[in-house]
Structures are given as C-alpha cells and as structure tokens.
Structure 1
Amino acid sequence: MATSLQTLWQSPIVGGSFASCVDDHSNGAAFTSGEFARLQGLSFMAIKSAPPSNFVASRSVKWRCAVVPSKTEKRTLLHDLYEQQKQSPWYDNLRRPVTILEPLIKSGVRGVTSNPTIFEKAIAGSNAYDDQFRQLIREGKSVEDAYWALVVQDIQEACDLFQPLYNESNGGDGYISLEVSPLLANETQQTIESAKYLHNVVNRPNVLIKIPATLECIESIKQVIASSISVNVTLIFSLARYEAVIDAYLDGLEAVQGDLSKISSVASFFVSRVDTYVDKRLDAIGTEEALQLRGKAANAQAALAFKLYQEKFSGPRWEALEKRGAKKQRALWASTSVKNPAYPDTLYVNPLIGPDTVTTMPDAALNAFVDHGKVARTIDANLEEAERIYNKIEELGILWSDVGSVLELEGVASFKKSFTDLVKSLSGKAETLAQSN
C-alpha cells in the first residue's frame, strides 16, 4: 500500500500530497478515475485502517481522497501547451467534492466541461449528493427540480474556484459549462428560455451555457448570444454544421448593441466518435485502401475545421465586430478519449494542437498527455494530407453529411438516455425517502 500511495503522490497531475479519507461504511471501495484513482494507469484502494502519520485525514466526503496542494506550483505539459501554443487545456469531468479541481488548476487546467452523462455518473454513482437531495425533496421540490439544484450548486462552486483564472485571463479562460436539458435538443424556443434561466440562476460571469448544434438549435444559439449570454455549442460533427454555428455566433454578436467584450463562446467539435463510426464503415468496405484510412478521419476533419475557423474569423465582417470587443468563438476539441485501444492514447490531443483553441480531456486523456504528450503546433501542419483523407473517405462512399447526421442523432439520444436514467434513479430514491418518512 505504501508503494501505491507514494506513486500517487508523485503524479504529475496533482503536484501535491494526498490525504486519506476514512469512513466505516465504504468497505474498502476503489476510488474512481475521476477521483484520481487511476493516475499513471495504476489502481488504488482506500485505506481501511488509520492513515499513515504523514497523511492528513479529511471528513469532507466519504472515501474520497482529499488533496493538500504543494506550496510550489508543479509545472506540467499543460502549462507548456497554453504558454507555448496558446491552446487551453480544459477538464471534461465534474463531481463532488468540487475541490478535487484545485490540484488540476495548479497543474495547468484552465476550464471544465460537463454534460448529462457526466452528471449521471457523478450523482447516481456516489452518495455525495444524497443529503442535499433528501433535503430538497423534504422541501417539496420535484425530482427534476432537485436534480437541477444539485447540478447548479456544482457549477457555481466550480465557477468560484476558476474565478481567479477568469479574472487573470480577462475572460479568456476559467469557464465552466452547463448544458440545457437534452430533452430540448429539437426545441428552439424552449432551449432559448432554458439557457436564459440557467444563466440567471447560476449567476456567475464564467459560466458557459451548452446548447447542442442541432438544426433546430442554430437559431437558439443566435438568440442566446444576442442576449449577451456566453455559450458552449456542443455536439458538432460536420464542417457544414460547424459553419452554421459560427454564422449563428456572428449573427448574434451583430444583434447586440454596444460592447461585446463580456460575451464568450466555444464550438465543441467532437473527434473520437467520428473515427468510431467511420472506422466501422471502412471495415465494412474492407479494401486495403479503406483499411489504411482507419483512425484518420476524425483528425483530418478537425484540421479542416480549424482552417474554416481561421477563414471565418478574419476579413471585414469579423474586424468590425472585433473593434467592438468581440472574442473569437474558439474551436474546442471534444470527445478526446480514445475508444479503440489499438490507437495511441494521445491520438486526439497531440495532433490537434493549435493557437486560440481549446482541448477538453477526460481523466485518461489528460493523464496520458501530461505523462507523455508532445507540445507542438500540429493542427495545420499538413492540411493537404487532411484534405486528401477527407476527400478519399467520401470517394469510398462514406458521405460526410451522413456521418454528421448519424453521430448527431446518436449524441442527442445518448444524452437524453443519461438524463432520463438519472431522473428515474432519483425518483426511486425519492420514493424510498417518502416510505421511510
């Protein structure tokens, strides 16, 4: 056990000392990856007996590790990524205790993204939310209202942790993303109203309201930006839809009177899911030419997305907005975890490094990059090759319009399922609570 704890303490992500958190009800359950249990690819078990003398006990959360940050900042490749290449590394996970984000901030993380699936895992897979949920139900809240209260508190606390970075960067980073209900993915007006409501109830300058890039929500994006609300546009899978998202952002900015400097936006372009789908189609074709393209489609399309980003945020139209303080809507590379174990674990991070972009990484991708990533501008290093791959895939009969449509439907369905499954789980807890009362 001592060896494992020493290895954990030396993790490049944390750069601080770990304290044990002892609770008689845990039965020695293993930490999850979000709780730094698998840093450097190792698993760690919670301590059943009294902690070592050089560890500090914490009562904050049952069987969660508490972090005592080191006095000196431990530099990582995440710092180099931002300082040398102007790409902002964000963390794609959020759970209680929100204070587990503190060592990540010190390691160079500059923002946090969340989604319905992340919250489902956090709330359903932990007892950290139970006490607040019980209190909300006793106060007469509906199950869905209680869910939003739990989520909003997490977002507010995370925003507060990142507020100094937000201030220091003049609103460049330090953002936390909160998504509207996935049940509204095809509802234009309801998405607008939900975005405004969540923006007001969170009441933090560094919150980004996530809106899906469905056809129905393109107008929602425009109207929410026009209301001077910062937006993270999510579930982008094609160049055509990405261009529509950029246009919606520009249209929204042009509808605002006066200063634009307080409005921010990112466009979340999903990558690994593209390869998952395209690879299956390539395997079905089965020719040597097709098989050689496996694992290349996602990054090729992302490189062309960056090219489109540069084109759209230049020229007279953009310059007029920039004079009023407008910020570019940065391209954000999402879904950066590797789904195929045969591929390098930094496949969707190393090749997508470029200025004025964001890469948001879950635990595995983040730890892999910090451990053995390479900091260099790669996103537009070989655009000709990216165009060749992109065009060849279409020549083989895999239409990019179909890729975008299929993945958008799957993404929306996945988030809806996570949301409804969580509400069902919470409803069961509410019924149990009512019976006990």
Structure 2
Amino acid sequence: MELLILEDETPLREFLQKKLENAGHQVSALALGKEALELVEKKDFDVAILDISLPDMSGIDVLKKITSLQNSTECIMLTGYASVESAIEAMKLGAYDYLEKPAKLKEIQLVIEKAYEKVLMNRELATVRQERKRSHESVKMVGKSPKIMRLRKLMQKIALAPSPVLIEGESGTGKEVIAREIHRLAFPQGAPFISVDCATLQETLFENELFGHAKGAYTGADSRHIGLVELANGGTLFVDEVGELELGLQKKFLRFLETGEYRPLGDSKTRKVEVRVIAATNRVLKKAVEEGKFREDLYYRLNVVRIEVPPLRERKEDIPLLVEHFLKLYPSPTGKAKSFDPKVLQLFQSYPWPGNIRELRNVVERALILSNEERITLDDIPPFEKEDREEISPTLSPPTPSGFPTLAAMEKNHIQKALEIHSGNKTEAAKALGISLRSLYRKLEKYGLG
C-alpha cells in the first residue's frame, strides 16, 4: 500500500512512518502542505493521512487538491478537539474519515485498512464500468452470410433466457464477440460483462480470481478481494476456454452454476449472485467428456443452449465486409483513408485462414502499417502470407479443393512460422497465434513439433 503522511508534529510523524513501514507499507512522510501538494502531482497514493492544522496551510487544502486530481486516493483527516468542525467539513469534501488526536495506533491502522478496502473496491468497479463503456464497434459481429444470419436469429431468441450458453468454435472465430452480442441484447440498458480465461490461470489462482478471498485467507491477503462472480452480479460472466478448467474446479463451478452460490477463500459465509454464464471453448467438449477430461454433469449443465461458430473458411463471402470493418477500426498511421486492391481481396477469399478472423484482423492491421500508398496491394501483404499465396493460388483464381494443402498442414506451417518469428519462445508464439499456451502445447504434440 502506498501511504502519504502529512503531519507537522515530528514525533508523531516519525512514529507513524516507522510503524506503518514495519507493517509492509510504502510510506512518504511530510511536514508541510506545500511539499504534499508537489508530491501528489507526481505520485499516486492509496491512502493519505492529513493533519488539518499545518504550519503553512490547512490540510483541507491538500484534500481539495487530491480530490481535484480524480485519483483513487482515500484521505483520513487528523484533528485536534478544536478543529472537529473542520474535520466534518472535510468529510463533506470527500474525506474517508477523521480521527481525533491522540489516536491509538490500532485505531489508525484499522481505519487505514478500511480505506484501502474501499480503494480496491472502487478500482474493481472502475474496471466493470470500463467494460460497460467498451466500444460496441470493436466487438461488432460482422457478416451477412447465411450461417451468420442464422446465428443472429438464434442469438436473439436466447438472449432473454437466463440459461447458460455454450459457444464452441475454433480459435479466432469470434466467440467472445458473440458472447458480448448476447449480453448486449440481454441487457440493453447496460450491465457488467466480466470475463475470465481458464487457460491462463492455475487451479488455486483461478478459484481466488473467480470467487475472491476474505482478509487473512492466506499469507499476504491483507484485505478482502472481490471475485469476478461478484463483479458480474446482475450481468454476464464469460468463461473463456472452459475446456481447460481443471477437474478439481469443475465440481465447484458446477455448484455455482446450479445455485448461484459460492464461498470466497477463507470465508465461512456463503454468498449468492444473479449471473448469466456464457462459456466458450475451442475444444469439442463432448469428446473431452468421453476421454474423462471434462465432467459429464457440467457439460450437460452448460450445454442448455449450444452455439457453433463457423470458421472463416466456411463464410468467405463475409471477408470483404470484415476487411472494411477492420479498415474503419484501425485508422492508417498516415491519417489517410486506405483501401485494398481487388486482387488482395481475391487472395483473401482464396486463403483458408487457419487463424480465422483474428488472423485476418492481424493481416489487415499489419498491411495498414506497412503500406505507403492509399491503395494496399499484394506487395504490402506480410511475407508469410505471400508464401501461402504462391502455394495456394498462383493465378489468383479460386482454387479447387485439390489445390489446397490440408488444413492440418496449413496449421502446422503456421505454428512453425510463429515459433521462428519469436525465436522458439512458446509463450510469445501462443499470443501471436491467438491461442492459449496449453493449446499450443497440444498442437505441438499433435504435429510432432515438440
């Protein structure tokens, strides 16, 4: 915790600084209001302890300055008996609390901890608000192909039902975009949309992230942590890569799914929330059930409504619309409007896109950066795409099925190139490919690239 102490009485200031630093906090201790005004301009604090009566100005002036900066600092005012009215005024101006001198150390520490809990809660709520304000354009579902039109009709039907939704599809097909679209249809007035990626968290961390923890739940748990299910209350919890969820957690997740109840780590109290769960996976969960890697009861609970997202190679008529969308989404570095040469669009429609929409988006964004002219030509397409172009369609005419390498060969080639570009760094290669590290390891084993 970053603490600011503004106190002109040297013994008290040094005492507080020593005790709070011994408790593991980062403390800046000052005697003059002018010094504090300069410091808060340069540095953010979690909690500030401000003496109202200072030699050069009132602590209330410092409070006003901190408030004007619109940061998340909570201020605690220290006051003598004669300045209690000023402390009440400070509360009206946004101070968290005030303490009357001489205050006991335990009392000061308790108020600091409560103020810090409010800081953490406000930050987490700010994250939720940012999710609500996230641009609709950036998550827009684009396309007019028959498969996308059918998908839209299905989404409109299921949006208002509280039942869980399972979205299955290859990596990069836009599963989160669909989840956000369902959420937007279900909550037109706005509600939290909170996402969690099962592939990036270990079992212990996942439970802590999902359900939160009570203060003192484990060493270092100095304050209560609000879990994602609580942040999603009244809205949608998007559980991405649910197929990667450890078996040990699947039972707890199933219980939450069925009851809406959960228990934070280290807490004896069971809590309940109203949350719509949308889960997504790039695995075939039914097969994972047969292999004993996914609980059958959880599968059937999630599979109330199932959505299959088509890969881009099965909706190629949408590629020009997607390209146009990405051109608007990623403005040219030069500020000039750009367009693609028809031959490039023809190439795009002849390529099988093993990375799906994510790969197309990356190619468009890179072409915008690399091209010097307003018209983007074949020469502006990244080198690895050129190689695939020559292999797939040297005449730029729509190829026959026999003219394509197999999808597995394309995927293997794609993974090899990602590893080459990132000098064998699997973590960076997985990020570039838009898949989880676990998924990459599975593919490396599948293609004998270990």
Q: TM-score w.r.t. structure 1 length?
A: 0.30
Larger Rg: 2
Higher RCO (CA < 8 A, seq sep 6+): 1
